[in-house]
Structure 1
Amino acid sequence: MGKFTIVAGARPNFMKIAPIIHAIQKQQKEGAKLTFRLIHTGQHYDKKMSGDFFEQLNIPEPDANLGGGGGTQAEQTAAIMVAFEKELLENRPDLVLVVGDVTSTLACSITAKKLQIDVAHVEGGIRSGDLTMPEEINRMVTDSITDHFFTTSEIANTNLRNSGFQDEKIHFVGNTMIDTLLAQMPHFKKPEGAVFENLELGNYFVMTMHRPANVDQEHKLKAMIDAILEGTEGLPIIFPVHPRTAKNLKEIGINAPNLLMTEPLSYLEFNYLVKNAKGVITDSGGITEEASVMNVPCITLRDNTEREETIQLGTNELVGTDPKKLKPYLKKVMDGNWKSYQGIPLWDGKTAERIVKILIDKYPD
C-alpha cells in the first residue's frame, strides 16, 4: 500500500497540492490502496488560512502543523527539520512529496532523505540562475537529492538533464497550480468594498510588488511607481500591498488617486481581478503563470525568471527592475498590441491525475 506524506509550507503551496489530494481521493474511491498525511510546516502564519480556506479548496485540514514559522531562514529551516523528523519517525511513509521552492521544501526534503525516505518534487527543475534569491538555493538543494521530479515544462526537463539526472526520474506532467486555477475559475468573486465598486472590466491594472530589489530602496521604489503611474495614464491600479511596502510608500509620499492600495486578497478575489484586468504588473513568478493561462498581459519587474515558458508561450514579458525600461511595455498594453497566450503543453487541468498515476505505478499496493 502506497503511503505518502504531502508537505505544504505557505498558502500558494496548498493551491499546488489541492489537486493532488483530489486525485488521490478519486483513486481511493476507485479502490486504490494508498493513503496520505497532509503536513503544514507552519512556515507562514496567514490569518486567511482558516477552516474556510481548506473548505474552499475542498481539502482536509492538515493532519499536523509543525509550527515552524518565525525567525531567520536558518532558524526556520532548523525548526521545521526537527519537527518533521519527529513526524516521519512516528508516521513513516514510502515517499515525501514537496512542492515549489519555499524553506519548507528544502527542510523537509533533507529530513526525509536522511531517514532514507524517497522524495518527489513537484515543480522540479525550475531555475532562475539568480543565487541572490533564497528560492533558487531551495530549488537547487532540493533537486540535488530528489528521487522523482514532476516538471511543469520542457525547459525544466532540460535543466535537470543538463545537471545529469536520468530520464526515468523526470516526469513531465504539467502544472498543478493551473489545475487549481481552472477548477476554481467558476468560483472567482469580486472583492467587496468601495475600492472595487466602480471598476470597469478590462480597464484597470493589477499590481503586486514584494521583492526587496523593488521595494526596499526608497528612491528606486518611487521611480518605479512614478513610471507605472505615468504609463497607465490614470487608469485604476489595484495594489494589494504587503504592510512593509505600504510603510515604505507612505514614507516616500506616494499619493495618487488612481493607485488603490488594498489589504491582501483571497485567491478567488485576487484572480477575479487578474482575469478581468487590462494588464498585470508583478515581480511574482506564480502570477505570470495564471495571467498567461487567462490571456492577460503580464509585465514582470525582475531581471530573471524561473518560468521562461510564460515568456515563450504565455503573455509575460520580463522588463527588469529599471523604471526607465517600463514605458514602451505599458504603451503596448494600453494600445492593445500585446501578444496572446499560445498554450503551454500539459497546462490543461489534468496534471495531478498524471502525478498520482505515476505514484501508484512507482509505489504499488
Structure 2
Amino acid sequence: MEEYRLILVAGARPNFMKIAPLMHVLRNHQKIKPYLVHTGQHYDEKMSDLFFRQLDIPEPDINLEVGSASHAVQTALIMERFEKVCLNVKPHMVMVVGDVNSTAACTLVAAKLHIPTAHYEAGLRSRDRSMPEEINRLVTDAISDYFFTTSVDADENLINEGIPQKKIYMMGNLMIDSLYEHLKKAESLNHAIQTLDGKKTVQLDKTLPDGGYGIMTFHRPSNVDEPETLAKLVNGWGTISKDVPLLFPIHPRTVKNLKKFGLYDILASYDSIYLTEPVGYLEFIYFIRHSAFALTDSGGIQEETTALNIPCLTIRPSTERPVTIWEGSNKLITVDDIEKEVRLILKGKGKTGKTPKFWDGQTARRIVDILEDIFYV
C-alpha cells in the first residue's frame, strides 16, 4: 500500500492552531502520513511544551531552529534548511499555512523542487504592501498549486489574480476548529496568572468581572515601532481603563519598545491595566470568551471574536479578513476612535454579527477529504 507523505509547515505560534486540527484528523490515517515541520521562526522555549500539550499535538518531527533575524536572513535560512528536509523526506505534497516568512520560503523551495504545494488561508489580502505578511501572501499564492480558503472574498481575490476556480477550495476556518474543540477544556482550567511585576494575580470574577473587561493584543510595527503612535495608544488605553479593566498579555516586542520609548512605567502605573506575559492558548481563548470586547492589531483574534460574537476593535487601516467586518463582530478603527468605540460597547451598542459559512469546527475533515481526492486515496 503506497504511503503519501505530507509535510505540514508551521513557522509561528498562530500556525499551530491551524495545523492542530489537521494533525488530529490525520492521526493514524491509513495512507497519508503527516510530517510536522517547525521552522523555528518564532520560538518561545518557556511556552513550547505547554502549547503542544494544550493543542494535543506531538512535538514537531523536524525543527529547523531558524530563530529571529532580518526578513532576508530568516527567509534564506529557512529555504536552505527546508530544502534538505524535502530532499530527505521526499514528500508528495507540502502544505503551508498563514502568511509568515516560513510560508513563502517553504513554498518557494517546494515549487523549485517540483513538489506540489497547498496553501491554507490562501487569497487573503489587506492591499497594504507595507505589511510583510501581504508580500508573503502574494508570493505564496503566485506559485502554489492548491488553495484552501476561509471565505468568499479570498476566492474572489484568487480568481481575479488568474487562479483557476478548480484549484480553489473554500473549506472554512481551521482556527475555529481549534477554538470550538478546546473551549470546554479551557473552561475547566484554573485561570490565575501573575502580572509582570508579580504584585497581582489576575483571575476571572476575582480580579476581572465576567463579561466586564477588555482583552488586548498589540504587536504590529505600525502601532508599536513608532514612539508617537505608541504614546497615543498608551494614553488611550489608560483613559479607557478608568471605565473598564484591561487584560494585556503583552508581546515581547511591545514591551521592548515601551521601555525604549520611556512609556512602560506610564502604562504600568494604571491600576486597571493588567500586564502579563503571553499566556497559553487555552487561557487566551478563555479570557476572550468572557471579555466584553477585544482591542487588537492581530489577525487571528478578529476571527476568534467573530466566532464567539465578541465585539472586536482592530487598530489598523485595513484587514486581510474583511469577512469579520462584513459578517462578524469586527470593526476597523483608528487610535483616536478608541475611547468613543469602547464607550459604545459599554453602553451595549457594540458591533455584533454572525458566523461565516463553514466556520463550524469541521474544516479539517473537509480539507483531508480533498487531500484524499488529490492523492487518489
Please give the TM-score of this superposition, normalised by the length of structure 1.
0.95
How far residue 215 of structure 1 moved from its aligned partner, in angstroms, is 1.4
Residue 193 of structure 2 aligns to a residue whose secondary structure is: coil
* Cα deviation code 1:270-291 (max 9, x no counterpart): 1111110111100001101001
Q: Does 1:256 pair with 2:270?
A: yes
Q: Does 1:293 pair with 2:307?
A: yes
2:225 aligns with 216
| 1:251-330 mapped onto 2 (5 Å cutoff) | 251-252=262-263, 253-254=266-267, 255-320=269-334, 323-330=335-342
2:24 aligns with 22
> 2:241, 2:270 within 8 Å by CA — same for their partners in 1?
no
Residue 192 of structure 1 aligns to a residue whose secondary structure is: strand
Output the CA distance in 1 between the equivalents of 2:13 and 2:69: 19
How far residue 53 of structure 1 moved from its aligned partner, in angstroms, is 2.5
Please give the TM-score of this superposition, normalised by the length of structure 2.
0.92
* Cα deviation code 1:28-73 (max 9, x no counterpart): 2xxx422121111111121244334222212121111111222211
Q: Does 1:227 pair with 2:227?
A: no
> 2:122, 2:137 within 8 Å by CA — same for their partners in 1?
yes
How far residue 203 of structure 1 moved from its aligned partner, in angstroms, is 0.8
Across the aligned residues of Structure 1 and Structure 2, the Cα RMSD in angstroms comes to 1.5
> 1:284, 1:300 within 8 Å by CA — same for their partners in 2?
yes
The percent of aligned pairs where both chains have the same amino acid is 46
How far residue 330 of structure 1 moved from its aligned partner, in angstroms, is 1.4
How far residue 227 of structure 1 moved from its aligned partner, in angstroms, is 2.3
How far residue 218 of structure 1 moved from its aligned partner, in angstroms, is 2.2
Output the CA distance in 2 between the equivalents of 1:117 and 1:282: 37
Output the CA distance in 1 between the equivalents of 2:240 and 2:49: 41
Residue segments in structure 2 that go unaligned for 5+ positions in a row: 195-200
2:197 aligns with none
| Cα pair distance change 1:3/1:212, threshold 3 Å | same
Residue 36 of structure 2 aligns to a residue whose secondary structure is: strand
How far residue 3 of structure 1 moved from its aligned partner, in angstroms, is 1.8
Residue 167 of structure 2 aligns with an amino acid whose one-letter code is: K
How far residue 124 of structure 1 moved from its aligned partner, in angstroms, is 0.4
Counterpart selection for 1:93 from 91, 95, 115: 91
How far residue 246 of structure 1 moved from its aligned partner, in angstroms, is 2.5
How far residue 303 of structure 1 moved from its aligned partner, in angstroms, is 0.4
> 1:11, 1:49 within 8 Å by CA — same for their partners in 2?
no
> 2:306, 2:329 within 8 Å by CA — same for their partners in 1?
yes
> 2:7, 2:35 within 8 Å by CA — same for their partners in 1?
yes
Residue 13 of structure 2 aligns with an amino acid whose one-letter code is: R
How far residue 101 of structure 1 moved from its aligned partner, in angstroms, is 0.4
Output the CA distance in 2 between the equivalents of 1:324 and 1:192: 31
Q: Does 1:4 pair with 2:2?
A: no
Output the CA distance in 1 between the equivalents of 2:300 and 2:371: 25
Residue 291 of structure 2 aligns with an amino acid whose one-letter code is: A
Counterpart selection for 1:135 from 119, 133, 136: 133
2:101 aligns with 103
2:192 aligns with 191
Output the CA distance in 1 between the equivalents of 2:231 and 2:163: 44
1:346 aligns with 358
1:77 aligns with 75
Output the CA distance in 1 between the equivalents of 2:253 and 2:142: 34
Output the CA distance in 2 between the equivalents of 1:315 and 1:284: 15
1:206 aligns with 215
1:178 aligns with 176
2:112 aligns with 114
> 1:48, 1:266 within 8 Å by CA — same for their partners in 2?
no
> 2:149, 2:172 within 8 Å by CA — same for their partners in 1?
yes
Output the CA distance in 2 between the equivalents of 1:286 and 1:220: 22
Output the CA distance in 1 between the equivalents of 2:362 and 2:31: 21
| Cα pair distance change 1:119/1:200, threshold 3 Å | same
1:61 aligns with 59
Say how many residue pairs are matched. 359
